[in-house]
Structure 1
Amino acid sequence: MDRQWLQGQQRSFFDRYGGFGSSVDDVMVIDDDQDEGTADSDVEGNINPGQFDRDHRPFIERFKNLGQTSRTPIVIDDEQNEEAEVELTEEIAEVIDLSVPSPSLTPDLQQAQRITRNAPIAADLIRPSCNHNGMTIEKRDTVEFDGLDEANLLATFLKVDLVWMSDGHTKLRGILYARTHNTKAKLPYKRNEVVQVLHVDENDRRPWDEQAAVDIMAETVIGKRDMRSTNALFSQHALKASQYASKLEAYEIGPLMNRWKLVTFYKDALQRRAGKQRGVAIIHLRAEDVPEAFRVPDDVVTNNSRGGIVRGGSYNPGQLDGVVFDLESALLNPNSNQIRLPQGRFQQYTYADIFCGAGGTSRGAKSAGFRLKMACDIWEAACLTYQRSFPECDIRQLDVHHLIQYLSNTEQRPDNDDTNLAALFSCFQIIKKLKPRIVMLEQTFGILHRRFEHYFNLLNNCFTNSHYSVSYRVIHMETWGVPQPRKRLIIIASGPGEKLPSFPPPKPGRPTVAKALATIGRRATLHNPEELKRGGRAKGTYPKAPWDPEERAFTLREFAALQTFPSHHRFKGQAIKKQIGNAVPPAAAEWLCRYILQHLLRDDGMEARVEDDDVVVLD
């Protein structure tokens, strides 16, 4: 295929869909002087670039024109990938909780399993303040201290919530904060920018800041610091280093600014003490999280970044325009999205599927109620299947690098591989161009191995550097309606000013192979069981007997059904089995997309329409 034609298709495609339904300005350019800060300093007191800057700025410059490289995208063999993932599972399980989520516990059992932390302090032990090295420390002060290493994140600041006495020692209880340069590139490195650090047990129903508070000894305090919190995007309210004698002085005594919270989730206290996390969320603060002096209406934040939203979805045939909330209306009425409106009869949220493959995610999104607007993939066979299955969607075969397939390659070390690095950074360029409200990614969980930590953190940075909140956790596909014991890493991100969706709970009911195979219609294509040899099973097929009493290989349609594709999904082109195996299971995608749809409707203050037996619950 002609390469110049592909590049032209790519440019016209993203130009056409830039902003994805909204009018936006270019993303803010951050001055390098604001982007240097680390704790390292030279003899003149200047702040040296951090490890992230030294290692990865050349990569960013090298691949800033993504999609133009002449390298061929990597294609991963599914069976080899599964074997590599199994080899890494034991090491990953040392830091990630890979157990299947258990059914919800009763409050009594939750209390029995909980190891109490931050128990209430008796009134006679609480003090209004304390004195240390000539400093008076009281509630709401921010102090710098020797530091605590919380899950490999050095936190050196504490916002005091309580001063109390214990065994003759003065203790300070509060929430930890860490400099963003200690997050190993999960967050952009900005001088004197800090992140709130929270460790949360999912079976503890107390507020996050209550259960995640820590106690430190007052004697470890180095000094008091001025810290402010804002939901404004960087660089508003940022430190002005020019007002200080040196950058080092600005670093040591200048005010701190908090825009983020980093939340690590654990199943319970036992898993937290073992260091086995269930998931992580990096959340940009919203208006409700900050004091009025540094607060910006969330609608204004959204407008400044993407040009507004259409409540209820931008696809609304028969209507001149949706209810578009722009900067002016948000300023006049910051709480305007609290007015509940009925969703239009045919109104839908639009959906884009990048690296769409054969359309597993799109099938789930369409079933959930989204309107498919655009899709792209480099693989011709997958594009043919997608076009045949979703003729209403604008599908293009584009030379956009396969971020997802690259991250799935747990065997290959990505060092110095131009194609892999370009794929990694393409995520940032896609977000920058399309500015979606919500982003969902599915990966094999091997990327969580410490061997790939540097690169996975940079993937997070692709979101946070664009002011997107992002969360991730390993999901057992059988809990989302897929009859396969597979685990996948799911990533959800939300744009500036948007609330970050939580992860959906397990889907009711238990998926089985028998139920999946029973969905195949009598007229289904790619289904020829009578032609397959009995008494033998094709190598590598899954799942194995006793699910197939005839002990024959599965038909292609049976493979598709086990991957939860409906019988009417039409495959075309070559390597159909590979198309099926590479796809995200539609049942899992639908369960996630339905949850995301409810989140959008609720956040937009919309009343979902009810059609026939299709009931959407907004709790």
Structure 2
Amino acid sequence: MPHSSYLNGNKIIVLEDDDCNSAELSYIERGLCNFRNARQTGQSIPVIDLTQDEDEKRDVLEYEIQIISELDRAGRNNPNYRRRPTAPLRDPPIPMRSQMFSFRHKNMLMKPGTVVEVSQRPRDQHCWQFLHVHNIYTDNLSHNVVLCGIRLTRHRYLRGMLPRMKNEVCALYDVNKEDSRPEHIQAAVEILATEVTRTRAFSKTNDAFPAHRFNTGQWKTTEEIENKGVLVQRWKYCRYWPTSGAMATKKSLSGALVRLRSADIEDEHFRVPDDKLRNAFRGGIIHGGSLKGGRVCIPAINVDTAEYDQGSVATLGRNQKYTADDMFCGAGGASW
């Protein structure tokens, strides 16, 4: 509770810490501190008596604001003036959303990890039609259910960047380089749950095409495959902007088409070691001519003193191969 004391015959009020819960009292407390500092510097500041009724207190507060503004303006003219940093909020803001673990709409169960289909977006958004849900929220004011996740579009809408394979989809990432948040957080978009037309079977894999694709014998028509067949993601398309203002222009600074790696896949059934995929793409690794008898032997040759021996012939062991490489020597070079 506040208690009274006297300074130069005038009554003032000293506030205790328990009174700081009131926004107005904490504001008065800051004003009184400014008055005390002003008195120490010799300025003539009227002392405010807060024993009046509510209307008088309101008038005092308005007068106090004017005085503090004058003090602040006078302080700015001082070359040694430094503004105090803004104090953090005493209490965190009340969240306007509540997270949900699942939501059912028109007999469709949606939860994190579900892929939903919505109405097709415009061409400048790569006609994305699917959303991989990461979070579900309900708005505390409107009570609308919001789905937050990553957009997915079919390969045929990527303008030839990927082969047009049916039900193969690519994730879309829009990234602001000034934003320090992870890319998957920046790329997330929000839609209302009422926009969902159906849920879709979905596989996210780093395996090579056509692994984990839909079963052709399961569907009778192409339309059934498009509307009911499993969707498979193996790629993500990232567009980068230098600033948030540049993002409004819709013209990206750079972009990258990235194939998913094993670290991107959570389900072991759809994850393949990257080494295995690399060997399947280019073939296995056979050690070169420097490996003889199970030991690596790489002789060091001084090119300044070495003499050319026409009789020396390089002999390779079984299944040994040399790899072509480049050596740069000063301004010139040698290749074989």
Q: Could you state the TM-score of these two structures normalised by the residue count of structure 2? A: 0.57
Specify the alignment match of 1:230 in structure 2. Answer: 205
| Structure 2: distance between partners of 1:181 and 1:322 | 50
1:299-318 residue pairs with structure 2 within 5 A? 299-309=275-285, 318=290
Displacement, 1:244? 0.7
Q: Does 1 or 2 have the higher relative contact order (CA < 8 Å, sep 6+)?
A: 1
Match among 138, 148, 153 for residue 178 of structure 1: 153
Cα 1:236/1:136, change in 2 over 3 Å: closer
Flag the structure with higher helix content: 1
SS at the partner of 1:300?
helix
Query: Does 1:372 find its partner at 2:326?
Result: yes
Match among 216, 222, 234 for residue 247 of structure 1: 222
Larger Rg: 2
Displacement, 1:320? 3.9
Verify the 8 A CA contact 2:203 2:212 in the aligned structure 1.
Answer: no
| Structure 2: distance between partners of 1:322 and 1:162 | 54
Match among 277, 281, 284 for residue 252 of structure 2: 277
AA in 1 matched with 2:150: I
Displacement, 1:200? 0.8
Displacement, 1:206? 1.6
| Structure 2: distance between partners of 1:322 and 1:150 | 58
Partner deviation per Cα, 1:7-38 (whole Å, 9 max, x = no partner): xxxxxxxxxxxxxxxxxxxxxxxxxxxxxxxx
Gaps of 5+ in 2: 1-92, 301-323
Verify the 8 A CA contact 2:145 2:193 in the aligned structure 1.
Answer: yes
Verify the 8 A CA contact 1:299 1:308 in the aligned structure 2.
Answer: no
Query: Does 1:393 find its partner at 2:327?
Result: no
Specify the alignment match of 1:214 in structure 2. Answer: 189
AA in 2 matched with 1:302: R
AA in 2 matched with 1:234: F
Verify the 8 A CA contact 1:241 1:247 in the aligned structure 2.
Answer: no
Specify the alignment match of 1:163 in structure 2. Answer: 136
Specify the alignment match of 1:195 in structure 2. Answer: 170
Displacement, 1:234? 0.6
Displacement, 1:246? 1.4
| Structure 2: distance between partners of 1:276 and 1:305 | 34
1:25-424 residue pairs with structure 2 within 5 A? 122=95, 124-149=97-122, 151-166=124-139, 167-290=142-265, 291-309=267-285, 318-320=290-292, 371-372=325-326, 390=332, 392-394=334-336
Cα 1:280/1:121, change in 2 over 3 Å: farther
1:444-459 residue pairs with structure 2 within 5 A? none
SS at the partner of 1:146?
coil
SS at the partner of 2:185?
helix
| Structure 2: distance between partners of 1:303 and 1:393 | 26
Displacement, 1:390? 4.8
Partner deviation per Cα, 1:382-424 (whole Å, 9 max, x = no partner): xxxx9xx756224xxxxxxxxxxxxxxxxxxxxxxxxxxxxxx
SS at the partner of 2:207?
coil
| Structure 2: distance between partners of 1:161 and 1:133 | 20
Aligned residues: 215
Q: CA RMSD in A?
A: 3.2
Flag the structure with higher strand content: 2
Displacement, 1:318? 4.4
Displacement, 1:128? 2.4
| Structure 1: distance between partners of 2:293 and 2:175 | 42
| Structure 2: distance between partners of 1:307 and 1:322 | 21
Identity of aligned residues (%): 28
AA in 2 matched with 1:298: D
| Structure 1: distance between partners of 2:132 and 2:94 | 18
| Structure 1: distance between partners of 2:188 and 2:181 | 11
Verify the 8 A CA contact 2:170 2:236 in the aligned structure 1.
Answer: yes
Verify the 8 A CA contact 2:127 2:153 in the aligned structure 1.
Answer: yes
Displacement, 1:127? 2.2
| Structure 1: distance between partners of 2:294 and 2:204 | 34
AA in 2 matched with 1:207: P
Displacement, 1:201? 1.0
AA in 1 matched with 2:279: N
1:577-596 residue pairs with structure 2 within 5 A? none
SS at the partner of 2:163?
coil
Displacement, 1:309? 5.0
Displacement over 6 Å in runs of 4+: none
Displacement, 1:144? 0.4
Verify the 8 A CA contact 2:115 2:200 in the aligned structure 1.
Answer: yes
Q: Could you state the TM-score of these two structures normalised by the residue count of structure 1? A: 0.32
| Structure 1: distance between partners of 2:161 and 2:94 | 35
Cα 1:345/1:129, change in 2 over 3 Å: farther
